[in-house]
Amino acid sequence: MGKNTNGFSIIGKPMAMSDARAKVTGLGKYADDLSVPGMLTGKILHSPHAHARIRSIDVSRAQALAGVKVIATGVDARNPYGILPIGHDERAFALGKALYIGDNVAAVAATTAEIAEQALDLIRVDYEQLPAWFDPEESMKAESNWINDERPQNIEKEYHHAFGDPDKGFERADFVAEERYYAGEVNHAAMEPHATLAIWEPDDRLTVHSSTQVPFYLHRTIASVCEMPMSQIRVIKPLIGGGFGGKSEIIPLEVAAAVLAKKSRRPVKITYTREEVFLAHRGRPITIVYLKVGISRAGKITAVQARVIQDGGAYCGYGPVTVLYSGALLGAIYDIANVRYDGFRVLTNKPACGAMRGHGTVNVRFAFESMLDQLSHRAGLDPLEVRRRNLLKAPCITANSLRVTSYGLPECIEKVFARSNWSEKKGKLPYGKGVGMACSHYVSGAANPIIRSNMPHTTVYIKIDRDAAVTVYTGASEIGQGSDTMHVQIAAETLGVRADRIKLVAADTELTPIDLGSYSSRVTFMAGNACLNAAKDMRDQILAAVAKKFGCAAEELEAKGGHISHRSDSSKSLSFDEAVAVALEFHGALVGRGTYAPPEMARGGKFKGAGVGPSPAYSYSAQVAEVTVDPETGQVRVDKIVAAHDCGRALNPLTVKGQIEGSVYMGFGQALQEDMIWKDGRLMNPSLLEYRIPATKENPEIESIIVESIDPEGPFGAKEAGEGSLAATIPAIANAIFDAVGVRINSIPITPDKILEALREKQKADAGNGANGAKRPSLAGNAR
């Protein structure tokens, strides 16, 4: 753990999170923990129909109920919004049509939650039901009754990319596989249900405390929906009980609370029930992948062709970005010259999908890594060796114009090869036991902002005054991943002071400068670099003042161990407090400023859709899963997962390991048990009792290994750690199941019934052609 920490006092050393005490004492405040005098409780009326025209809404009886203070419907906030500039198709409340079971139709704010709920029952909505679309492949053939009139055939967006010469690549292949893969829909299931407290201030301003990963986008959206200038609105992010992407766009309750607060001139809090969390959703979409891959006899990938269809639900959300990531991240992991990609984001009458940990890459990576395993076996090659033979020669620019700088994948593969005893186990374990491996990668932030501009992606200020406390002001959003701690470490290391001297003010649009938010794993790389730049700016100011006092050059001084000292003359040394006093006398005010924007050459190609996928740096992961499959019941137990992750440099090995293990855990859940089950647009399992995220009993042992490739542009060489490991877990498990019982399941979650069905088919096929191999591949696809 943590090599290359040479010379650092704080960077690279395990450090408890800076907000850990607030969390373990129960004193830290999450959005639903907040209350203010006179606060009303808001409740939202959801559509009971999947696709329906709203003929009229009668709120008169609800309005007459004692304790009801305000009711809002679509006419109260007509401005459309959406996270992407090309997808402003949502409104605070449905205007004209409701598009899914759970769509937002009206909201009530009342003195108690009970009264608000009673009032919802008294609202009369006259609906005209319309034909609805639930299956994405059916929906994209629709000739009429489109969900959004401006989206013919219910296609939100489609992209068609070709790089190199895929046809020639397939001609050169010695082995070609073609399969259909299916991934069910999954939800972030962060333990904290969303909550928003919107406060109408006496001076006609609006303050919004919300469970958001993106205070800045929320700020913009509330300004637009409430038709107020941004300067009159303050957004504050309290503690966040997990995000994983589920709080990375504007969630309906956030605008509903703001609209109710503005209309009532009162504070209004809305907290979702767990069912409402599932209905607001924004999770990973049902994804159908038609994949074709060719490899040479030597195991070199010659061409890849993917047709990806994503069931986006009723609104655009992040949809176009998701489907672009699915194509773009076919690149930047292996050396693949020829790629064809056709991606379709399709509307259906279900809750909108969105960004979820490993945004866009996870389901396609499952398909790709499964197929690479299948092709390796057909070619008679070790699948791990096949990965070795397809490595990039970094630094490089990929066929689809992604710039790869640091590339720790080779080391990740060798680490898991050794730690898992791969060569002792692969193909050698008794029937029912198996190992499988897979790789994955992810961006360290998107090189291009959602709203195009030439402004920085992040700005950080540092203030020091006469108490010599160092206050870091950052817009970055701590959501449990360690954002705050990362800032503290970088500032303390750079200024040469103890971490407990750093105070952090974060994610409050009135006090802190801009940060685009906690999504696409951008915080360590981007906010980290901005913090580093601000700390260097501050350090340089202090050193300049002290140098003047000592009559030496600033370069001769260093900030270390709580002192500003001459590098060679030990008589010239001031404590940090003394140095601050000198600097204040010299400069008057001490403010350090830092910004970060990705370099031009990291921003990708010029083709349509090229903006998504480019990142200043990519993280890498290799994993080996070891499983036991019971062929009688189809039950899979994952005994262990060894996961190596290249995070550039582990600024804090404790939190990096936590991120790797959390990613593997989430991949494990999607691989074997998590699935949102739909019937005619109705979610059949909208609770944590029925939508089963793994508990301690089923969760595998996870061995996380940190690989440090020291990125040339990351802060102290760091890259992302929070998402890149998720995608490899699913195919590693699927490939291990094949190794164990000889069947390939192309549909996740891999439930016992799918395994039993595949085993029966394999038995039939084996009996038919007289095969006896216990571990032969089944070519049967899974139709689901």
Partner 1 sequence: MNKELMRLHVNGEEREIAITPNRLLLDALREDLGLTGSKRGCDDSSCGCCAVLVDGTPMLSCVALAASYEGREITTIEGLGGPGELDPVQEGYAEMGGAQCGYCTPGFMIATKALLDRNPNPSLDEIREALSSNLCRCTGYMQIYESVKYAIEKLRAKSSAPVSAGR
String of DSSP letters for 139-201: HTT--SS-SSTTSGGGEEEEEEEEES-HHHHHHH-SEEEEEEEEE--B----SSPPEEEEEE-
CB of 750 to partner 1, least distance (A): 19
Token pair 């591949």 is at which residue? 777
What CA–CA distance (Å, rounded) separates 18 from 1? 21
What CA–CA distance (Å, rounded) separates 328 from 297? 26
Interaction of residue 699 with partner 1, rule CB under 8 A: yes
CB of 2 to partner 1, least distance (A): 14
Task: Answer yes or no: are the C-beta atoms of 743 and 763 closer than 8 Å.
Answer: no
Kindly tell me which residue out of 128, 455, 701, 764 binds partner 1, with binding defined by CB under 8 A: 701
β-strand pairing of 233-236 with 206-210: parallel
Residue 67 or 781 with smaller CB distance to partner 1: 67
Stretch 149-168 residues interacting with partner 1 (CB under 8 A): none
Residue 134 or 665 with smaller CB distance to partner 1: 665
Span near partner 1 by CB under 8 A; candidates 347-355, 657-665, 709-717, 731-739? 657-665
Token pair 């900030």 is at which residue? 559
Stretch 11-30 residues interacting with partner 1 (CB under 8 A): 16-17, 19-30
Kindly tell me which residue out of 448, 459, 704, 778 binds partner 1, with binding defined by CB under 8 A: 704
Peptide bond between residue 229 and the one before it cis (omega within 30 degrees of 0): no
What CA–CA distance (Å, rounded) separates 16 from 691? 32
Interaction of residue 680 with partner 1, rule CB under 8 A: no
Interaction of residue 240 with partner 1, rule CB under 8 A: yes
Token pair 């129909």 is at which residue? 49
What CA–CA distance (Å, rounded) separates 1 from 281? 37
Report how far Cα 557 is from the mean position of its chain's Cα atoms.
Answer: 41
Stretch 191-210 residues interacting with partner 1 (CB under 8 A): 191-193
Task: Answer yes or no: are the C-beta atoms of 59 and 123 closer than 8 Å.
Answer: yes
What CA–CA distance (Å, rounded) separates 777 from 405? 37
What CA–CA distance (Å, rounded) separates 620 from 333? 8
Residue 459 or 652 with smaller CB distance to partner 1: 652
Stretch 252-311 residues interacting with partner 1 (CB under 8 A): 273-275
Q: Describe the strand order of the beta sheet including 104-110 as a list of residue ranges.
A: 68-73, 104-110, 40-46, 268-271, 195-200, 206-210, 233-236
Residue 243 or 383 with smaller CB distance to partner 1: 243
Residue 51 or 357 with smaller CB distance to partner 1: 357
CB of 395 to partner 1, least distance (A): 32
Q: Exposed/middle/buried for 239, CB within 10 Å: 0-12, 13-18, 19+?
A: middle
Task: Answer yes or no: are the C-beta atoms of 44 and 270 closer than 8 Å.
Answer: yes
Interaction of residue 657 with partner 1, rule CB under 8 A: yes
Kindly tell me which residue out of 92, 438, 650, 664 binds partner 1, with binding defined by CB under 8 A: 664
Span near partner 1 by CB under 8 A; candidates 75-83, 281-289, 462-470, 690-698? 690-698
Interaction of residue 65 with partner 1, rule CB under 8 A: no
Task: Answer yes or no: are the C-beta atoms of 299 and 130 closer than 8 Å.
Answer: no
Q: How many CB atoms lie within 10 A of CB 599?
A: 10
Kindly tell me which residue out of 179, 249, 373, 661 binds partner 1, with binding defined by CB under 8 A: 661
What CA–CA distance (Å, rounded) separates 318 from 316? 6
Span near partner 1 by CB under 8 A; candidates 617-625, 697-705, 736-744, 775-783? 697-705
Residue 245 or 456 with smaller CB distance to partner 1: 245
Kindly tell me which residue out of 214, 666, 730, 734 binds partner 1, with binding defined by CB under 8 A: 666
Residue 100 or 244 with smaller CB distance to partner 1: 244
CB of 484 to partner 1, least distance (A): 12
Q: Exposed/middle/buried for 164, CB within 10 Å: 0-12, 13-18, 19+?
A: middle
Task: Answer yes or no: are the C-beta atoms of 357 and 519 closer than 8 Å.
Answer: no
Span near partner 1 by CB under 8 A; candidates 248-256, 475-483, 627-635, 674-682? 475-483
Kindly tell me which residue out of 2, 169, 184, 241 binds partner 1, with binding defined by CB under 8 A: 241
Residue 20 or 553 with smaller CB distance to partner 1: 20
Kindly tell me which residue out of 321, 416, 507, 702 binds partner 1, with binding defined by CB under 8 A: 702
Interaction of residue 185 with partner 1, rule CB under 8 A: no
Give the DSSP H/E element, type plus range, for residue 306: strand 301-311
CB of 275 to partner 1, least distance (A): 7
Kindly tell me which residue out of 1, 4, 33, 335 binds partner 1, with binding defined by CB under 8 A: 33
Interaction of residue 42 with partner 1, rule CB under 8 A: no
Residue 391 or 654 with smaller CB distance to partner 1: 654
Task: Answer yes or no: are the C-beta atoms of 626 and 445 closer than 8 Å.
Answer: no
Strand partners, 310: 287, 345
Interaction of residue 466 with partner 1, rule CB under 8 A: no
Interaction of residue 765 with partner 1, rule CB under 8 A: no
Number of residues that bind partner 1 (CB under 8 A): 58
Interaction of residue 479 with partner 1, rule CB under 8 A: yes
Kindly tell me which residue out of 662, 681, 717, 749 binds partner 1, with binding defined by CB under 8 A: 662
What CA–CA distance (Å, rounded) separates 437 from 416? 9
Q: Which two tokens stand for residue 659?
A: 């991120």
Q: Which two tokens stand for residue 578?
A: 């003394």
Contact residues toward partner 1 (CB under 8 A) are 16-17, 19-30, 32-33, 35, 188-193, 239-244, 273-275, 479-482, 654-655, 657-658, 661-666, 668, 687-689, 693, 695-697, 699, 701-702, 704
